[in-house]
Amino acid sequence: MGPDHPHYSKAFELGREIAKLLDCTSWTGAGPGLMDAATKGALQAGKPVGGFKIGKEAGEWTASNFHSYLPTETYLTCRFFSARKHGLVDAAVRNKGTDRTAVVALPGGIGTLDEMFEILALIQLQRIGSELPVPFIVMNYDSFYKNLLEFLDDCEYWGTVSRGEVASLWKVCENNSEALAYLAGFYHLSPLD
């Protein structure tokens, strides 16, 4: 999903607005597509960014272990997805009331789903290492995750997931305004104008 994809501009705007709202460092997978959009959005907000890049990422950076525009001190290149997941989880941990973090899952593929569900399981089992709750948002742009959400409803029907269990662990948002309002409410902040 490059710059010509409608989700790219939405992810860019969301990255910018979350960075401003939470006044935080934005951590991404430092790869192409929507990760790139969120990173550039946070940079446009003038906030620090960091990343956990996979050495063999799909797309334009596959041939290089280097990121094209981030200074090397702002990201790590990981060999395995597990290392990236550990880094992203560490970035989300909240141990003080002043820590403002969030996990935001943008539309993505198998790697995104892997990261989403591992982090979700850590939150569910209270093994994320955070003393305080961490908001988890799924961006369902244009109903991207519709079939996944229906599958989880089927899991509830069959009893493999308790009723309301997954819904209690994350917030599914259809648009950026909904996500920003949720974060503002979670952290008792005034929404940005």
pLDDT tens for 125-180 read 999 999 999 999 999 999 999 999 999 999 999 999 999 999 999 999 999 999 99
Greater confidence, 25 or 80?
25
Terminal CA-to-CA distance of the chain, rounded, Å?
28
Q: For residue 75, is pLDDT > 90?
A: no
Amino acid sitting at position 78: C
The C-alpha atoms of residue 124 and residue 43 are separated, in whole angstroms, by 32
H or E element at residue 154 = helix 146-158
Per the CB < 8 A criterion, the answer to whether 24 and 1 are in contact is: no
Binning pLDDT at 50, 70 and 90, where does residue 30 land? confident
Average pLDDT over residues 68-96: 87
